[in-house]
Amino acid sequence: MNVIAFNGSPRKEKWNTVTLLDHALAGAVSAGADTRLVHLYDLNFSGCISCFSCKKISRKEDGVCAVQDDLTPVLDLVRNADALIVGTPVYYGAESAATRALIERLCFPYNRYAKDRKSLFPRRINTALIYTMNVSNDILLEWGYDRHFSITRGALEKCFGPCELLLCTDTLQYGDYDKYESEMFDRDAKFRRHAEVFPQDCRRAFELGARVAASR
């Protein structure tokens, strides 16, 4: 079992998204998986450039993005993966720019423009999305974030297979709120939630990773 996780946050150490991904991969390891974590902000790559090379009748291979950049070898690894986990912070109600670019390049070559719309990915694998965000659960629903998350989840399910969703809300943004603009936030409540609730989110991530790796 080979599980690949993608960190769509520019923060690579100790912060919300990568911490949850670390726990998810630990859960996958507990189920016997080999794991790999890819930090997207370490790579120089773009989203889909709409060249439609992956849709040409004359293409030599299905499911291959023609763009050549730092993401190319990562997409090659995906072809042999048994499960995928994508983690991202939420910026303005959606995934980070790097995560969105990944999803475009990851999914579009496997989207077959045929009446049956069957994915060109050669098998069905488990996937998961982990979202971290500053907003509360109530605001998430009020502002319709859940509808966008459902669209992305549907894209992964269509291309690859069942997709679990983990939402981590009302996250801690700063280690020291005195150094940054933060008047609109209750810093004490933020730290209290991080101490009390975030460990529960980490446990949920561990359990998610174990499920993704254990069931095929």
Give residue limits of the domains in the chain: 2-214
Q: What's the first-to-final CA gap in the chain, in angstroms?
A: 9
User: Is residue 182 within 8 Å of residue 174, measured between CB atoms?
Assistant: yes
Residue 163, strand partner residues: 127
CATH of 2-214, one of 3.40.50.360, 2.40.30.20, 3.40.630.10, 1.10.3720.10: 3.40.50.360
At 47-64, the pLDDT tens digits run: 999 999 999 999 989 889
Q: How many CB atoms lie within 10 A of CB 140?
A: 19
Q: What are phi and psi of 39, to 5 degrees?
A: -90, 110
Q: How many CB atoms lie within 10 A of CB 173?
A: 15
Residue 95, strand partner residues: 90
User: Is residue 132 within 8 Å of residue 204, measured between CB atoms?
Assistant: no
Cα 135 from Cα 173, distance rounded (Å): 11
pLDDT of residue 41: 97
Across 15-44, average pLDDT: 96
Cα 72 from Cα 5, distance rounded (Å): 16
* DSSP 8-class letter at 70: T
| pLDDT for residue 216 is more than 80 | no
Confidence band for 215, pLDDT divided at 50, 70 and 90: low
Cα 155 from Cα 59, distance rounded (Å): 23
Mean pLDDT estimate for the chain: 93
Q: At what angle do helices 187-196 and 198-214 cross, to 10 degrees?
A: 40
At 129-143, the pLDDT tens digits run: 999 999 889 999 999
Which pTM was predicted?
Answer: 0.94
Across the chain, the runs of DSSP E, i.e. the strands, are 2-7, 34-39, 83-91, 94-95, 126-132, 163-168
At 137-193, the pLDDT tens digits run: 999 999 999 999 999 999 999 999 999 999 999 998 888 888 888 888 888 888 899
